[in-house]
Amino acid sequence: MRSFDVLVLGGGPGGYTAAIRAAQLGARVALVEARELGGTCTNRGCIPTKALAASAHLLERLHQAAELGIELPAPPRLDFARAAARRDEVVRTLREGIAGLLKAQRVEHVRGRGRLLGPDRLRVEGEGGAEELLAERGLIVAVGSEPARLPMLPLDGQRVVSSDEVLAATDLPRRLVVVGGGVIGCEFASIYRAFGVEVTVVELLPNLLSTLDPGLSAALKKAFRKAGVQVRTGIGVEGVEAGADEVRLRLPGGEALACDQVLVATGRRAATAGLGLEEAGLELERGRVRVDERMATAVPKVFAIGDAVGRTWLAHTAAREGEVAAANALGHAERMRYDAVPSVVFTSPELASVGLTPEAAKQQGREVEVGKFLYNGLGKALCDGVADGRVEIVAEPGGGRVLGGIIAGHEAGALIAELTLAVQQGLTARQVAETIHAHPTLPEMLMEAAGDCFGLAIHRAPARKR
């Protein structure tokens, strides 16, 4: 039996981050992963999706070229096979980069499927046989997640697929029905519509992106309507009939939607089954490991992070959880905060949020002011031809602490970083407003919205008193 200071089970963004941080803190570390390094995010999630989104967004911009005075010799045309090849190359590059980082930090990558034999050891079964590994100081469970399954929509990998199959595809369907109006479903709907596919989104709940601010949901629904994405909310699915030439998705009342492919995007579930977690004493709730703010489980020296915990289902949350778990496994004292975790939806337009919404603040009994600014009031947005969007900042009255905010529009995913920093560090709206922002740039909207929280935005007309 080989021993290490820290064992990490799972090589996704949480797992490899935990392994690297533990090594940086002086530990001898082994990372156990049976599949590709990088986990779902790098190989079957964030990265390949955003590589396709980059192609989709550029294609949309090229269609707007005439508005900026540029005449193209021919209408822009998508070569999806080349876009897919680029997607795969980006994934390969990042996966190799992760391997290089682990090697540089002297983290041993043990290839195989791991299972807990107790609170301090793993049995790993790989191509070369099985071995047992001992964790002397800490064991971190970072096993990730897998697409959720619906019994009435069995996957066949061709006509009825999950995001895994979509992100391995080298051709496009003519008609796509997306079952699920959450982040995954909406991102694919946006990308595929930009590629010219006829897209319909079917969602059981009343709104798209039901876990996010209602304003973001409304902004996306408006954008989908403009782009030609059909949205059917508040409706369930009864079954599917896959034939040789098309798929028929059965809806209530005898209605059916005909298409070439159905994408089942109804969320993800923790991949914790069959790993010996409960036998080792870990507490699970609906398949997710229960942890405290140190990412510690009920078993001493055992930690869990990422989708195995399922607090936010975000790669960047998993990475920070990995840093916290690694530090605590080695005797440091760190705590995980969830009040300043940004969320980004890479649709067109991009949608981003962080911290409290006005509704959430009200439920907590907190009085807040909401500062607003529109993209079409900003010089840089008008210059770039991206004037559709808005920023909202939630802050304590009188220009007090920034508690949260939302952004819907071009580069929302990048812009939300400033608001995340403000929430994390307890900055006030007045401090943000008094910080000089370069002109002309998009971040000026954050300065203006912060000023609007206490009635001193320069480029926004005051609300008329009634």
Q: Could you report the average pLDDT of every consecutive run of 10 residues in the chain (466 residues)?
A: 96 98 98 96 96 97 94 94 98 98 97 95 93 97 92 93 95 97 97 98 96 92 96 95 90 94 94 95 95 97 97 96 98 96 97 95 93 96 96 97 97 98 98 98 98 93 53
Q: Which residue matches tokens 């709206």?
A: 429
Catalytic residue among 109, 437, 439, 459: 439
**Residue 388 to residue 238: CA distance in whole angstroms:** 37
Instruction: Provide the 8-state DSSP code for 65.
Output: G
Fold classification of 2-147+269-329 is: FAD/NAD(P)-binding domain (3.50.50)
CA 458 – CA 443 distance, rounded (Å):
15
- In sequence order, what are the residues at sequence separation of 6 or more whose Cβ sits closer than 8 angstroms to the Cβ of residue 167? 44, 45, 48, 49, 52, 87
Report the pLDDT value the prediction gives residue 464, as an integer from 0 to 100: 47
Q: Are strands 302-304 and 343-345 parallel, antiparallel or unpaired?
A: unpaired
Contact 17, 23 (CB under 8 A): no
Active site residue 439: yes
Tell me, what DSSP letter sits at residue 348? S
177 contacts 339 by C-beta, under 8 angstroms = no
CATH superfamily name and code, 349-452: FAD/NAD-linked reductase, C-terminal dimerisation domain (3.30.390.30)
Contact 143, 270 (CB under 8 A): yes
Q: Where are the beta strands (DSSP E) in 10-102?
A: 29-33
pLDDT of residue 463: 60
> How far is the C-alpha of 346 from the C-alpha of 353, rounded, in Å?
12
Judge whether 2-147+269-329 and 349-452 match in fold.
no
Run of H or E including 40: helix 39-44
Long-range contact set of residues 154-158: C-beta below 8 Å, sequence gap at least 24: 154/240, 155/264, 156/242, 158/242, 158/261
pTM, rounded to two decimals: 0.94
Cα dihedral 296, 302, 308, 310 in deg (nearest 10): 0
Rounded CA gap, 23 and 251, in Å?
53
Q: What is the pLDDT of residue 466?
A: 32
CA 150 vs CA 147, 210, 267, 284, 309: distances in Å: 10, 19, 10, 22, 22
Domain ranges for the chain, please list them. 2-147+269-329, 160-266, 349-452
| Fold topology of 160-266 | FAD/NAD(P)-binding domain (3.50.50)
Q: Where are the beta strands (DSSP E) in 375-421?
A: 390-395, 402-408
- Whole-angstrom distance, CA of residue 192 vs CA of residue 275: 36
